[in-house]
Amino acid sequence: MPRTIWSGAISFGLVSVPINVVGATEDHSIRFHQYHLEDMGRVRYRKVCELEDREVDQSEIGKGYELSKTQVIPITDEDLSNLPLPTAKAIEIDAFVPLESIDPLKIAEGYYLQPSSPVAAKPYKLLVQALGRSSKVAVAKYAWSGRERLGLLRVRDDVLVLHAMRWPDEIRDPAELLPPPVEVSEQEIEGALALMDTMTVDELVGPDFEDRYTEAMAQIIEAKREEKPLPEAPEPEQPAQVLDLMAALNESVQKVKASRGEGTGPAEVHELPKPKKTAAKKPATKKAEAKKATAKKATAKKATGRKPKSA
């Protein structure tokens, strides 16, 4: 059972839903410690008071805000618990919006919300079913760790999920990162779409979506523990210099198909509409040419057969 991170309530109009907040994700990363290389003794960081030059216990440590190098305002846990905010003890829903209206860049870590008591089950279920039927998400505010935060509430497998969100002023403007103006042809776009179609999957499962770094690190640790040779690292594939973008796209499609055991025929690229050609003049037929020649001869005979007028 995951430990409770925070307890409070969801405020939905006049409806209050008592909940516990637990972590929704797990970190499976392999963690390293620091050691003194000479004797492999553990290296640790100690908390030392700068004024007394001595190590202090955690019970002696508190929070403070530095006004200047000589003046600090102490902030106690009681001060934080008595913040003059309606969100200090509740997750207050402010609005409901379509999920696609939320920029994914604003979405941060996620948490599961569970009803904190049997009495909370009914209002909890009410909010779950209402959100599910509306196909919307809730935008809420809550106060954790000394600051008010923005959050997103949604439903996953009949459980409420809270995502921390960044405030709009915390998102950097990407304008300065725009590439220089270039022209991309419609054929190149179609080639990229063909590659995207080849790489499209129904869900993120399979060996392509496993943590290969952690697995490789575990193999190295096991080999060193058993004093065996380390596994050989594969030669990194050097990226080729892209000279022909269309050729690179087509080759990428073939590689993806080959890796999946599919046929490696040419990529299906939609043909561009061909420009309309103006109607060309039809070449003269032999009969028409003969008629023209006969007409010219007749005209010549008439001209030569005329008698000159007397002066």
Q: What is the pLDDT of residue 227?
A: 87
Q: Cα–Cα distance between 4 and 299 in angstroms, integer?
A: 111
List residues bridging with 19 in a β-sheet: 8, 115
Q: What is the pLDDT of residue 298?
A: 47
pLDDT in tens, 192-245: 888 888 888 888 778 777 888 888 888 888 888 888 888 887 776 666 565 677
Beta strands in the chain, from DSSP E residues, in sequence order: 4-12, 15-23, 35-36, 41-42, 48-49, 54-55, 63-68, 71-75, 90-98, 107-115, 136-144, 147-156, 159-165
Helix axes 245-259, 186-199, angle to 10 degrees: 10
Q: What is the pLDDT of residue 55?
A: 95
Q: What is the pLDDT of residue 242?
A: 56
Concatenate the DSSP letters of all residues of 238-253 into one string. PPPP-S-HHHHHHHHH
176-to-104, 108, 165, 166, 292 alpha-carbon distances in Å: 20, 24, 24, 21, 72
Q: What is the pLDDT of residue 276?
A: 47
Q: What is the DSSP letter of 189?
A: H
CA trace torsion 8, 10, 13, 14 (10° rounding)? -50
Convert 59-68 to b/e letters by CB count within 10 Å (16 or more is b).
Answer: eeeeeeeeee
Question: What's the CATH architecture for 4-26+73-170?
Answer: Beta Barrel (2.40)
Q: What is the pLDDT of residue 302?
A: 46
Q: What is the pLDDT of residue 82?
A: 73
Q: What is the pLDDT of residue 176?
A: 86
- Mean pLDDT of successive 10-residue segments in the chain (311 residues)? 87 90 89 93 94 94 92 88 72 93 92 94 94 93 85 96 94 90 89 87 81 84 87 70 71 77 57 48 49 48 46 36
Q: Where are the domains of the chain?
A: 4-26+73-170, 186-259
